[in-house]
Chains A and B, each alone.
Chain A
Amino acid sequence: MLNKERAYELFERARKFSSADDVEVLIGGGKSALTRFANNTIHQNMADENYDISVRVQFGGKTARASTNKFDDESLRRTVLAAERLAKVQEEDADLLPMYAPEGEPASDVVLPQRRFAETAAIGPAERAEAVGKMVDVARRLKLNSAGVYAVNDAADGIFNSRGVARWHEQTLAEVSVTMTAENSSGWQKANAPDVRELQPAMLAEIAAKKAVESANPREMAAGKYTVILEPAAVLDLVGFAFWDFGGLALLDQRSFLNNRFGKQVFGENITIRDDVYHPLQAGAAFDAEGVTRQRVELVRNGVVKDLVYARGTAERIRKSEFAAQLGTVKPTGHGFALPNEMGEAPLNIVFELAEGVQAKSVEQMVSETERGILVTRLWYIREVDPYEKMLTGMTRDGTFLVENGKVKGGVLNFRFNESALHMLSNVVSFGEPVRASGEESFDMVVPAMKVQEFNFTEVTKF
């Protein structure tokens, strides 16, 4: 594995090849391995190791980036010159700030939890095959067909610049997802964690299998508005689309659903959301792609949008803009993407908190309190239909159940939904305990299961 000292040495070598006012280097990569199974057989099994060095140069108000995975002097020189050529042909951008200088930044008293575990890094193909074997055993015992992945990453990311930034982050992540398929039904589970010892592949396989068995012979229900109980993965895949609009640049660009809504009641009073990379169930580095320390930010309190996240350049532009008075005190929050970019920033360490007075309920409790509704395991192929109303379409998948008179009454054919994230988060009547959850349409979050009223299913498919 590349370490901070070697990475810094690479930065120094790259810097010497540049005549730019300032040089910044992002270095990232590591080892990754993934065992993939289907039809109760491992059919794809891979490992790779790769590191990229990405050099940004800046001449006054001009900046550009180039990257390579070759670290010899000739390649570094070629990469630096490529970035310089791209920068020099530009017009000056008066809004481009000099590279970040951390001098004077107050020391943070928040400590990032341990995110690299030797136990995770040590997982090899034999251990992955053994874990997969346990999941396949569950399928065979119940005469089901299993498919899924067991993946392990051991990664490092760093940023160094000629104004004194030198940040480094190491992290492991182990991930399991499993789908169990029966003749006309299926069930799914997914989990990940920096510490592999927190994963329980066989237990996930058992839950997925139970869903496949219990949703067998699904019945067709008419499309319409239903009370739904969304498991955490379904919640995060849907609400994740909203958070790309919680950056200051999205507001400046007038492409955010928060334009004309900042400071207003956007969601129900029981919705409180923050961005918190330091949360014990979160993952990621405590700095952004300019080297700025990531702050905790309260985004939504009791349904009112309280704050956004800001890259350095965005914060400066906001202070000079028509939005300055509306947004109040604006400071860089450490959520910026690598420059130059079009997106600015976004909060990607979302944590839902239970509002004061809200008692967490288990999914079973929510079911027992539901007269008629739909229990949803997972959502799929979600896309934005209306960006300002945050209306999203997608499908249910791998475990969709009818709930009647407080009981799960078997599987139903999958629905297409067309639902606004604003409407959905204004109609939540029960919450589960927030957990670290992972889906396939959005980034991982700490999010609860939710019982939502008036969820809009518009069509039914054939399975």
Chain B
Amino acid sequence: MMTAVGVDMKHIADWALNTAAVRGATYAEARVVDERNRALGTKNGKIGTAGESESMGVGIRVIADGAWGFSATEELTKEGVERCAAEAVAIAKASAKVKSQELRLVPEKAAKVDWTSPCRIDPFTTSMDENLELLTRIDATLRAVEGVTLAETNLNFRRYEQWFYNTDGSEIHQTRTVTGAGYAAYAFAGNELQKRSFPNSFGGQWQNKGYELIEELKLLENAQRIGEECVALLKAPQCPEGRFDIILDSSQLGLQIHESIGHPIELDRVLGYEANFAGTSFLTLEKLNRLRYGSELVNVVADATEAHGPGLGTFAYDDEGVEAQCVPIITRGEFTGYLSSRDTAAMIGRERSGGNMRAESWNRVPIVRMTNISIRPGEKPLSPEELIAGMDDGIYMETNRSWSIDDKRYNFQFGCEAGYEIKGGKLGRLLKNPSYSGITTEFWNSMEAICSREHWTLWGTPNCGKGQPQQVMGTGHGASPARFKQISVGAAYKGK
């Protein structure tokens, strides 16, 4: 397999794996990555971001003396790769000086695969003039609304090509194309700053798609409404404090899944390997198949397969050569699965990894990561309007503004950009600064309704941080609007 820069990937793999074996590695893998990114953005009618970047290199991970070692280099010559492999083995041997047990990997069948994520319109071939014109028109539409004091837009493309080889015999070539876009309006007046974003906050919507995603999002069509809602928030009443039934839009529910299901099911956290940074988990091993995580309506999967959709967690094989799978995480409310790797699966006596190892790029070690962690939509037809009609007195919240959760993933607090009063089954006044908080399992057990498939969206979270050194990863979260009983609302403003 040759790249555009004329390097033969099989040669690199041979140099890496042979050197590792000669130096004493009992397992080795080489992961070559060639990635390209483009970021465009405007702020108040001017260019905010205009940049391209590319990066290429190889990361070599080995086991020697029963311990892990990893080294990475940008120097893709025979000398550079062999030196890198030798260093990885030396590092593994140093690791072995501080260990309490031998490392073991569950088996995985070797694969020879070439996979490319579906992409109808290559975003890198689209006209930059037109890209900028779209952003500029959105920016102008937002600022045309009286009271909008700041407008920001973004458009991002990424192509991530990876060649993976290991001593089990795998040769896996994958290419993913990612597109993301969004915008935000801000309104400052007196002693208050409000914000509205579309189609989601913190960068908008991101998927494993080409430019067709931009065409689907109807960005410009929603700009004026978003600007007007932003300004209206300044005069809206404060969201009340107390216990309320609430409805969350699908994007906020996606982040709720990310924080209070996606992270605590990471087996490396459960086993203590993130204790110093990201934290551990309340989902200790004895809770598997015994904990009532949520109500009967809560069905959650970790699904990296293409059948799940073009999520940021969709691939054919993970970054240690394990095939993409759909793992049931919560089944009719019961906790049924973890996210795992070949070594953590072995530690808990499993026969196979769930295929959840992912690395930010060539120079980072793969770690246990979310793929697409999604809640199944309701089986009976249910629209957001019907969800609201079924609520006598409550609050609807949409689009995340702030998020925080403790290091075992019990206590969380989320703020949203906009809230609406619900009275007698009807949407009422706009409310500013809505927030809610709770304990993870109590919250999911209070879920009493979720909208059906046609209201389900596979959201992309492009900025999930984990690991040391910290790695940023994109994850997918499918969700449809859902209703929860008697949730604590407004505690964020208690005592203010």
A83 at the interface (CB under 8 A from B): yes
Closest to A32 in B: B469
CB distance from B193 to the nearest CB of A (A): 5
B468 at the interface (CB under 8 A from A): yes
Closest to B92 in A: A45
CB distance from A151 to the nearest CB of B (A): 7
* A32-B469, A52-B55, A89-B132 given; A177·B276 CB < 8 A: yes
Q: Which of A105-113, A286-294, A298-306, A453-461 contacts B (4 or more CB under 8 A)?
A: A453-461
CB distance from A272 to the nearest CB of B (A): 25
Closest to B273 in A: A38
Contacts of B69 in A (CB 8 A): 45-46, 125
A10 at the interface (CB under 8 A from B): no
Closest to A68 in B: B54
A359 at the interface (CB under 8 A from B): no
CA distance A87 to B70 in the complex (A): 39
**Which parts of B24-69 form the interface with A (CB within 8 Å)?**
38, 40-41, 43-44, 46-57, 59, 67-69
CB distance from B393 to the nearest CB of A (A): 24
CB distance from B82 to the nearest CB of A (A): 15
Q: What string of 1s and 0s marks CB contacts (under 8 Å) between A387-430 and chain B?
A: 11101011101100000000000000010101010000000000
Contact B52 A253, beta carbon cutoff 8 Å: no
* A38-B275, A39-B273, A456-B495 given; A46·B91 CB < 8 A: yes
Q: Which of B95-103, B295-303, B375-383, B450-458 contacts A (4 or more CB under 8 A)?
A: B95-103
* A36-B468, A38-B272, A418-B493 given; A395·B98 CB < 8 A: no
B404 at the interface (CB under 8 A from A): yes
CB distance from B399 to the nearest CB of A (A): 15
Contacts of B272 in A (CB 8 A): 38-39, 145, 147, 181
CB distance from A375 to the nearest CB of B (A): 18
CB distance from B63 to the nearest CB of A (A): 11
Contacts of A128 in B (CB 8 A): 94
B405 at the interface (CB under 8 A from A): yes
A148 at the interface (CB under 8 A from B): yes
Contact A42 B493, beta carbon cutoff 8 Å: no
Q: Which of A163-171, A254-262, A324-332 contacts B (4 or more CB under 8 A)?
A: A254-262
B55 touches which one: A68, A90, A225 (CB < 8 A)?
A: A68
Q: Which of A17-25, A277-285, A360-368, A377-385 contacts B (4 or more CB under 8 A)?
A: A377-385
Closest to B101 in A: A41
Contact B128 A393, beta carbon cutoff 8 Å: no
Contacts of B68 in A (CB 8 A): 42-45
Contact B363 A395, beta carbon cutoff 8 Å: no
CA distance A41 to B276 in the complex (A): 13
B174 at the interface (CB under 8 A from A): no
CA distance A51 to B307 in the complex (A): 38
Contact A381 B405, beta carbon cutoff 8 Å: yes
Closest to B403 in A: A383
Contacts of A340 in B (CB 8 A): 47-51
B152 at the interface (CB under 8 A from A): yes
Contact B51 A65, beta carbon cutoff 8 Å: yes
Contacts of A260 in B (CB 8 A): 191
Scoring B49, B57, B90, B98 by chain A CB atoms within 10 A of each residue's CB, the highest score goes to B98
Contact B128 A47, beta carbon cutoff 8 Å: no
CA distance A391 to B72 in the complex (A): 41
Contacts of A264 in B (CB 8 A): none
Contacts of A393 in B (CB 8 A): 402, 404, 413, 415, 492
* A34-B468, A181-B275, A388-B191 given; A70·B98 CB < 8 A: no
Q: Which of A129-137, A154-162, A192-200 contacts B (4 or more CB under 8 A)?
A: A129-137
B74 at the interface (CB under 8 A from A): yes
B404 touches which one: A46, A132, A389, A394 (CB < 8 A)?
A: A394
Contact B404 A35, beta carbon cutoff 8 Å: no
A46 touches which one: B53, B70, B406 (CB < 8 A)?
A: B70
Contacts of B47 in A (CB 8 A): 63-64, 90, 93, 340
Contact B415 A385, beta carbon cutoff 8 Å: yes
Q: Which of B212-220, B320-328, B422-430, B432-440 contacts A (4 or more CB under 8 A)?
A: B432-440
A-B contacts, 16 of them at CB < 8 A, read A38-B273, A41-B98, A41-B100, A46-B71, A47-B87, A50-B55, A50-B72, A54-B53, A70-B56, A82-B52, A87-B50, A125-B90, A388-B191, A393-B413, A459-B411, A462-B410
Known: A48-B71, A86-B50, A395-B406. 11 other contacts (CB 8 A): A39-B271, A45-B68, A65-B52, A68-B53, A90-B132, A125-B69, A125-B94, A147-B274, A393-B413, A394-B404, A463-B408
By a beta-carbon cutoff of 8 Å, the part of chain A in contact with chain B is: 32, 34-52, 54, 63-70, 74-75, 79, 82-83, 85-87, 89-91, 93, 95, 124-126, 128-130, 132-133, 136, 145, 147-149, 151, 177-179, 181, 186, 188, 224-225, 253-255, 259-260, 340-342, 380-389, 391, 393-395, 397-398, 414, 416, 418, 420, 440, 456, 458-463
By a beta-carbon cutoff of 8 Å, the part of chain B in contact with chain A is: 5, 38, 40-41, 43-44, 46-57, 59, 67-74, 87, 90-101, 128-129, 132, 136, 149-150, 152, 186, 188, 191-193, 195, 271-277, 279, 282, 363-365, 367, 401-408, 410-411, 413, 415, 433, 435, 437, 439, 468-469, 491-496
List the 4 shortest-distance A-B pairs measured between CB atoms, nearest first.
A125-B94, A461-B411, A48-B72, A64-B50
